[in-house]
Chains A and B, each alone.
Chain A
């Protein structure tokens, strides 16, 4: 019988993913109020690679637009999109549920409450820079995760994935209620809160990128290292134990990593829905059910997807901007239907 290279994403899908990422980055940088030549942008980016020395033909102003304005935002979109898609794929594997969302355990409501409290406190004269908002959201998200973890362990029988999900539901509705109350009491801050909730990619140079990078890197390292275990977990906990794993331990580690990364992504970008659920499914439909392909490919396609969504958000109603969460759902849902129609695999 023929032996094939198994256990890794098929090279052609990885190549396709990298190609899409490259194209999305060039488009994202080239298109904007000042149009830049895509070829020049591509060469300018390649020029910065070690051992590469090309003349991109861009003048200094154009180069500044690339490096100081557009690229930070594009890279942030790559990181946030890749992170949300990776966390979504991970959650779906851990809970063996195709509807699992990386914000299932309270991350979204915690971040929302953290951001709301910060915005209202600032409106009331609390001396803090706007740039601290991601930190407030991150603290809220991590706090909500801890609360979910504690509530999930209350009562007999101890923690298990189902109880964690239920605890997440309880924490989410509780924190949402608190947030709504705070908002109503501070009507003047509502607009700002909503604009944050609907998601947007901030443009504060490279700061936000540097804020999320460590979390995204650690999360990606943990989740991608454990991706083979996610495949083993698909046969059920009993058999996974029989195969020498600690299914619960792997689950908690994966959940903790994915949740922390999600909290970081949400805190800089707001609540961008849809990416975490849909991207892993599109990848599954295209490249098969193994998490060893789904997870790395989700990073690539999720990142590229969010770069393009952000591009659309910037240009659709220029000079205004759409909330990116609106774009992801508006553009992503029809695309998903298209993929479902054109693939024969019943991977769901």
Chain B
């Protein structure tokens, strides 16, 4: 579905992403991890077509660079880390903005767009919120609305930039379980970035570890989340246990003496 080959991104004269290659198979969930400043979000933004990059990115076999913005928006949808919440806008109207790439440039939304929004609102169980103002919702509810707006785009590739950073663990699971369900039901392919390694390992099929803009490791959570990798790239002292085959991280405090 997604093929990024030797992608580099320069921001303000500094190479933030350095020849990183990532592939995501259809229906797969790949999560990019790495310490602060490793270039995770920058890589995602390049894949979304929001930043100029060097290298090749293809989505469903089509080169990203050859797509016009509207076509790109119909194939790739992104949920940003801290989306702008327009004051006063209702949930329904916000989700409806997701239909923009399907609305003719000088036209307005048609019945098909309203039907698509109604379906997304239904799927994400947002019916009770549809007429509420987005800026009155809680963090977890908002995150579901952001997701709904991205889904309304009808894209096959969903990019999630730190989708759960602001949420408590219960709401993190709620949102990520939802993404997992949609992936199965709607045939979505997911590329995300995540801060919380335990959560990242639990939900992703594969992890990609970036460090200082370079690809440091790529594999299953079990292969990537090793004590050695975490010590080298995160400068973290961690014991890695395995519960039901899933790596579990236990931070180890430096004890005096």
Q: Which residues of A contact B (CB under 8 A)?
A: 1, 3, 6-8, 225, 228, 231-232, 234-236, 238-239, 241-246, 284, 288-290, 345-348
Q: Mark B46-86, 1 if CB is under 8 A from A, else 0.
A: 00111000000000000000001111111011101001101
With most chain B CB atoms within 10 A of its CB, the pick from A238, A239, A347 is A239
Q: Using Cβ atoms and an 8 Å threshold, which residues of chain A touch B72?
A: 244
Contact A346 B97 (CB under 8 A): no
Q: Using Cβ atoms and an 8 Å threshold, which residues of chain B touch A345?
A: 88
Contact A243 B96 (CB under 8 A): no
**Minimum distance in angstroms from A161 CB to a CB of chain B:** 15
**Minimum distance in angstroms from B143 CB to a CB of chain A:** 15
Contact A239 B83 (CB under 8 A): yes
Who on chain B is nearest to A241 by CB?
B50
Answer yes or no: B42 CB below 8 A from chain A CBs. no
Q: Mark B126-154, 1 if CB is under 8 A from A, else 0.
A: 01001000000000000000000000010
**Minimum distance in angstroms from A122 CB to a CB of chain B:** 45
Contact B74 A1 (CB under 8 A): no
Answer yes or no: B228 CB below 8 A from chain A CBs. no
A234 to B85, CA, bound (A): 8
Answer yes or no: B177 CB below 8 A from chain A CBs. no
Who on chain B is nearest to A285 by CB?
B88
**Minimum distance in angstroms from A114 CB to a CB of chain B:** 35
List 19 additional A-B contacts (Cβ < 8 Å) besides A228-B108, A234-B86, A238-B50.
A3-B114, A3-B115, A6-B93, A7-B96, A235-B86, A235-B94, A236-B84, A242-B50, A242-B73, A243-B73, A243-B98, A243-B100, A243-B153, A244-B100, A245-B100, A246-B69, A288-B88, A289-B87, A346-B88
Answer yes or no: B35 CB below 8 A from chain A CBs. no
Q: Using Cβ atoms and an 8 Å threshold, which residues of chain A touch B103?
A: 228
Q: Using Cβ atoms and an 8 Å threshold, which residues of chain A touch B97?
A: 231-232, 235, 243
Contact A7 B101 (CB under 8 A): no
* Tally of chain B residues near chain A (CB < 8 A): 41
Residue among B69, B87, B127, B153 making CB contact with A347, cutoff 8 Å = B87
Q: Using Cβ atoms and an 8 Å threshold, which residues of chain B touch A245?
A: 69, 100
With known contacts A235-B83, A290-B89, A347-B87, A242–B77 Cβ distance under 8 A: yes
Q: Using Cβ atoms and an 8 Å threshold, which residues of chain A touch B68?
A: 244
Q: Using Cβ atoms and an 8 Å threshold, which residues of chain A touch B96?
A: 6-7
**Minimum distance in angstroms from B183 CB to a CB of chain A:** 20
Who on chain B is nearest to A225 by CB?
B106
Contact A289 B108 (CB under 8 A): no
Who on chain A is nearest to B72 by CB?
A244
Contact A244 B88 (CB under 8 A): no
Answer yes or no: B182 CB below 8 A from chain A CBs. no
A225 to B127, CA, bound (A): 31
**Minimum distance in angstroms from B176 CB to a CB of chain A:** 21
Q: Please provide the 9 A-B residue pairs with the shortest distance between their CB atoms, ordered closest to farther.
A: A244-B73, A289-B88, A244-B70, A234-B86, A244-B101, A236-B84, A243-B100, A244-B69, A347-B88
Contact B88 A235 (CB under 8 A): no
Contact A6 B77 (CB under 8 A): no
Answer yes or no: B92 CB below 8 A from chain A CBs. yes
Contact A242 B122 (CB under 8 A): no
Could you give 28 example pairs across A and B, Cβ below 8 Å?
A: A1-B118, A1-B122, A3-B118, A6-B93, A228-B100, A234-B86, A235-B97, A236-B80, A238-B45, A238-B50, A239-B84, A241-B49, A241-B50, A242-B48, A242-B49, A242-B50, A242-B76, A243-B73, A243-B98, A243-B153, A244-B68, A244-B72, A244-B74, A244-B100, A245-B69, A246-B69, A289-B88, A347-B88
Who on chain A is nearest to B78 by CB?
A242
A73 to B4, CA, bound (A): 64
Q: Using Cβ atoms and an 8 Å threshold, which residues of chain B touch A231?
A: 93, 97
A242 to B73, CA, bound (A): 6
Who on chain B is nearest to A288 by CB?
B88
Q: Using Cβ atoms and an 8 Å threshold, which residues of chain A touch B83?
A: 235-236, 239
**Minimum distance in angstroms from B34 CB to a CB of chain A:** 21
A245 to B50, CA, bound (A): 11
Who on chain A is nearest to B128 by CB?
A1
Contact B89 A289 (CB under 8 A): yes
A234 to B90, CA, bound (A): 13
**Minimum distance in angstroms from B67 CB to a CB of chain A:** 10
Answer yes or no: B109 CB below 8 A from chain A CBs. yes
Answer yes or no: B121 CB below 8 A from chain A CBs. yes
With known contacts A7-B109, A243-B153, A347-B88, A1–B130 Cβ distance under 8 A: yes
Q: Using Cβ atoms and an 8 Å threshold, which residues of chain B touch A232?
A: 97, 100
A238 to B73, CA, bound (A): 12
